[in-house]
C-alpha cells in the first residue's frame, strides 16, 4: 500500500523510551526496535506494527500522545539538531516543513495562517496513516516545541484527526488540553501565531548554515513516494468498497494493459495480492476501530462474501480475530474511565 514510504530508524528509540518509562517488558519488540540503526529507513508498515504491539501491552488511551512525549531532539536525527540551531520557532517550523522527508515521507505538510492561528496540515495524497501514528506526530511536534523554547505550557489550539472517533473520545480533549475533532478531511493542528516569534535559546547561526547544507545533501539521497503505487492506492480503496477490485479493472483505469500492470508491480518487488492484502488490513483496522460499524458489515465493506472468510483473513494478518481485536481496542478505551 505504501511502497517506498519510510520513517527514520532513530524513531525506534522513541518507542523504546516509552517502553522504559512504562516498564513494559515486551522482549521481542524491544529486540526488534534495538536493532534498527539511527540512519536506517524503516518501512512505515513496521512503524504502524510497532504501535499495534505496544497497544497490546499497554492500556493507555491516546497511546500516541504518550509515546510522542518521550521524544528527544536526537530521535529526529539531523532535523532535530537543525531545528535547535534556529533563531525562532517560526524558522524552526520552516526547517521542519522543508526537511520533513528526513524523518518520514508519507505525506507533505502544508502551512497556512488563519487569523490568529497557524494551521499545519498533512496532505493525504500518498495515503492515510493510523490514529496512533498521527497522535505520535502531533505529540512529538509539541514536545519538541516545548523543549526548544523551554516553555512547558505551549499547547495546540485545536487538533483534527481523519477517521472515526475512538470509543470514549471525550477524554481526548482532557488529555490534549485543547479542542479535538475527528472525521476530519486530513490530519492537522493549530497553534497561536504568536508562537512563531518565540526565541530558541540554543540558536547558532553558523552551525545552522552547516546543518542546512548537510540536510539539503541528505534529502536528495532519500527515496520519494512512488506515484504509480500512490495512484493505485487511490483507486483500490473505492474499488474495494464497491466490491469491484480486480487487477484487470485497475489496469484499465490506470491506462495500462494487464501484462504491463503486472510488470510494473514486479519491477517494484510486490505482487497485486500482497498489495491488496495490505490495504485491506489497514482498512479493516480502521473499520474495526469505528464502533458505529457492526462486525458483520466490516466484511462486506472489504469485499468479502461472508464473515468467516474475513475472520480467517484478518487472523492471518493480525494473529487475532476481528472480534478479539475490537475487544482489545475497546478495553484500552474503557481503562481511561477507571
Looking at the structure, do residues 212 and 262 belong to the same domain, yes or no? Answer: no
Is 328 part of a structural domain of the chain?
A: yes
Looking at the structure, do residues 194 and 105 belong to the same domain, yes or no? Answer: yes
Residue 144 C-alpha cell reads as: 519538541
Looking at the structure, do residues 98 and 184 belong to the same domain, yes or no? Answer: yes
Looking at the structure, do residues 189 and 233 belong to the same domain, yes or no? Answer: no
Residue 58 to residue 40: CA distance in whole angstroms: 27
Q: Are 2 and 45 in contact (CB under 8 A)?
A: yes
Looking at the structure, do residues 271 and 190 belong to the same domain, yes or no? Answer: no
Residue 292 to residue 37: CA distance in whole angstroms: 41
Looking at the structure, do residues 202 and 233 belong to the same domain, yes or no? Answer: no
Q: What is the greatest pairwise CA distance in the chain?
A: 64
Looking at the structure, do residues 189 and 131 belong to the same domain, yes or no? Answer: yes
- Sheet of 109-114: strand order equals 109-114, 117-122, 187-192, 158-160, 179-181
* pTM score above 0.95: no
Looking at the structure, do residues 160 and 236 belong to the same domain, yes or no? Answer: no
Structural domain count, the chain: 2
Parent domain of 282: 227-335
Element spanning 67, H or E: helix 63-68
Is 22 part of a structural domain of the chain?
A: no
Which of 221, 236, 265 terminates a domain? The answer is: 221
Looking at the structure, do residues 206 and 231 belong to the same domain, yes or no? Answer: no
Residue 113 C-alpha cell reads as: 495562517
Looking at the structure, do residues 184 and 236 belong to the same domain, yes or no? Answer: no
Residue 151, classed as helix, strand or coil, is: coil
Is 268 part of a structural domain of the chain?
A: yes
Element spanning 64, H or E: helix 63-68
Residue 331 to residue 289: CA distance in whole angstroms: 12
Give 322's contacts (C-beta < 8 A, 6+ positions apart): 284, 288, 295, 298, 310, 311, 314
Looking at the structure, do residues 67 and 216 belong to the same domain, yes or no? Answer: yes
Quick one: pLDDT at residue 163? 82
Is 12 part of a structural domain of the chain?
A: no
Please, which residues bridge with residue 7 across strands? 42, 104
Is 31 part of a structural domain of the chain?
A: no
Count other Cβ atoms within 10 Å, centred on residue 252: 13
Is 40 part of a structural domain of the chain?
A: no
Residue 288 C-alpha cell reads as: 474495526
**DSSP for 282-331?**
HHHHHHHT-TTS-HHHHHHHTT-SSHHHHHHHHHHHHSS-HHHHHHHHHH
Residue 50 to residue 307: CA distance in whole angstroms: 27
Quick one: pLDDT at residue 336? 41
Digit-by-digit pLDDT tens for the chain (338 residues) are: 455 788 999 999 999 999 999 999 999 999 999 999 999 999 888 999 999 999 989 878 899 999 999 999 999 999 999 999 999 999 999 999 999 999 988 788 889 998 999 999 987 765 678 899 999 999 999 999 999 999 999 999 999 998 888 877 888 999 999 999 998 988 999 999 999 999 999 999 999 999 999 999 998 887 666 778 878 888 888 888 888 889 999 999 999 999 999 999 998 888 898 888 888 888 888 788 777 788 888 888 888 878 888 998 888 888 889 888 887 765 444 444 33
CATH number at residue 281: 1.10.10.60
Is 316 part of a structural domain of the chain?
A: yes
Report how far apart the first and last C-alpha atoms of the chain are (Å, whole number). 38
Q: Supply the DSSP symbol for 193.
A: G
Looking at the structure, do residues 150 and 251 belong to the same domain, yes or no? Answer: no
Quick one: pLDDT at residue 185? 86
**DSSP for 194-238?**
GGGG-B-TT--HHHHHHHHHHHHHHHHHS----HHHHHHHHHHHH
Residue 332 to residue 335: CA distance in whole angstroms: 5
Is 78 part of a structural domain of the chain?
A: yes
Which of 221, 255, 278 terminates a domain? The answer is: 221
Nearest C-alpha neighbor of 336 from the set 75, 59, 31, 32: 59
Which of 221, 242, 262 terminates a domain? The answer is: 221
For 196, counting Cβ atoms within 10 Å of its Cβ (0-12 exposed, 13-18 middle, 19+ buried), the class is middle
Amino acid at each position: 500500500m505504501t511502497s517506498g514510504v519510510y520513517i527514520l530508524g532513530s524513531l525506534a528509540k522513541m518507542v523504546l523510551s516509552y517502553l522504559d518509562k512504562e516498564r513494559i517488558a515486551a522482549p521481542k519488540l524491544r529486540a526488534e526496535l534495538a536493532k534498527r540503526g539511527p540512519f536506517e529507513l524503516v518501512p512505515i508498515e513496521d512503524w504502524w506494527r510497532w504501535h499495534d504491539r505496544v497497544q497490546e501491552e499497554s492500556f493507555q488511551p491516546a497511546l500516541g500522545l504518550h509515546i510522542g512525549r518521550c521524544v528527544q531532539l536526537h530521535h529526529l536525527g539531523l532535523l532535530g539538531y537543525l531545528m535547535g540551531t534556529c533563531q525562532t520557532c517560526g524558522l524552526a517550523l520552516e526547517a521542519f516543513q522543508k526537511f520533513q522527508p528526513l524523518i518520514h515521507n508519507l505525506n507533505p505538510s502544508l502551512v497556512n495562517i488563519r487569523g490568529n492561528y497557524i494551521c499545519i496540515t498533512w496532505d493525504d495524497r500518498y495515503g492515510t496513516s493510523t490514529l496512533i501514528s498521527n497522535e505520535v506526530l502531533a505529540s512529538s511536534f509539541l514536545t519538541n516545541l516545548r523543549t526548544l523554547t523551554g516553555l512547558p505550557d505551549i499547547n495546540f489550539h485545536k487538533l483534527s484527526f481523519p477517521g472515526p472517533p475512538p470509543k470514549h473520545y471525550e477524554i481526548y480533549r482532557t488529555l490534549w488540553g485543547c479542542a479535538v475533532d475527528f472525521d476530519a478531511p486530513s490530519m492537522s493542528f493549530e497553534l497561536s501565531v504568536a508562537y512563531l516569534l518565540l526565541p530558541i535559546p540554543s540558536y547558532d547561526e553558523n552551525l545552522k548554515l552547516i546543518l542546512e547544507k548537510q540536510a539539503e545533501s541528505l534529502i536528495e539521497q532519500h527515496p520519494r513516494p512512488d506515484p504509480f503505487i500512490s495512484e493505485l492506492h487511490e483507486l483500490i480503496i473505492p474499488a474495494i468498497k464497491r466490491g469491484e477490485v480486480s487487477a484487470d479493472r485497475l489496469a484499465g483505469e490506470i491506462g495500462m494493459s494487464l501484462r504491463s500492470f503486472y510488470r510494473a508491480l514486479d519491477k517494484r518487488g510486490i505482487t497485486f495480492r500482497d498489495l491488496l492484502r495490505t490495504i485491506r488490513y489497514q482498512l479493516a483496522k480502521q473499520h474495526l476501530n469505528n464502533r458505529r460499524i457492526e462486525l458483520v458489515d466490516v466484511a462486506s465493506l472489504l469485499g468479502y462474501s461472508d464473515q468467516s472468510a474475513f475472520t480467517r483473513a484478518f487472523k492471518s494478518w493480525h494473529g487475532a480475530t476481528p472480534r478479539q481485536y475490537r475487544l482489545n481496542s475497546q478495553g484500552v478505551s474503557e481503562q481511561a474511565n477507571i
